[in-house]
Amino acid sequence: MKYVCSVDIFQSLAQVIVLFNNPDNTTEWMSELVNLELIKGAPSDVGAVSRLTFRTKTLDFDVIETITKKNLPSQFARVYKMRDIALEVNDSFAVAGKHLTRYTSKNEVSFSGLMLPVGWVLKWYFKKRTHKQMKDFKYFAENYVELT
């Protein structure tokens, strides 16, 4: 199952990339992320593997993230795996106007095992989560103030 989400961020492309590319910022805009543990590789580099722990109102879960391609601003691809679910994410950023950046996320989710029969019902959930995280990043990028 494939879907695409996008948001416009009122910030320059260069600044958006600096903020997005810094793994230390992830917990600032990904509100449900409670822990990010690097398992292998260098943070944000191709081949890096990390365990992300999320806590939502209804459940806690771990996801394994593997960065598969990185050529910012045009491509940042990774795969997220958890029990019986795999999510491929390919994000890109482009100039959309003066001090305006378009953030696009192309996603493909696949289900196996016990999730296979109910996976199609969860499409709305994945799209909703993706869009929420993108809007949270937009808010973070537009309101970022560097403390010196």
96-121 pLDDT, tens digit per residue, is: 999 999 999 999 999 888 787 777 77
- Between the two ends of the chain, the Cα-to-Cα distance in Å is 44
The residue behind tokens 């482009």 is 94
What is the pLDDT, as a whole number, of residue 134? 96
pTM for the full model? 0.90
Quick check: 148 pLDDT over 60? no
| CB-count burial class (<10 Å; 0-12, 13-18, 19+) for 29 | buried
Is the N-terminal amide bond of 117 cis, ω within 30° of 0?
no
What is the pLDDT, as a whole number, of residue 147? 56
Quick check: 13 pLDDT over 90? yes
The architecture of the domain spanning 2-143 is 2-Layer Sandwich (3.30)
Quick check: 32 pLDDT over 50? yes
The residue among 98, 34, 105, 35 whose CA lies nearest residue 75 is: 105
Residue 41 has which token pair?
């590789």
Q: How confident is the model at residue 85 (pLDDT cuts 50, 70, 90)?
A: very high
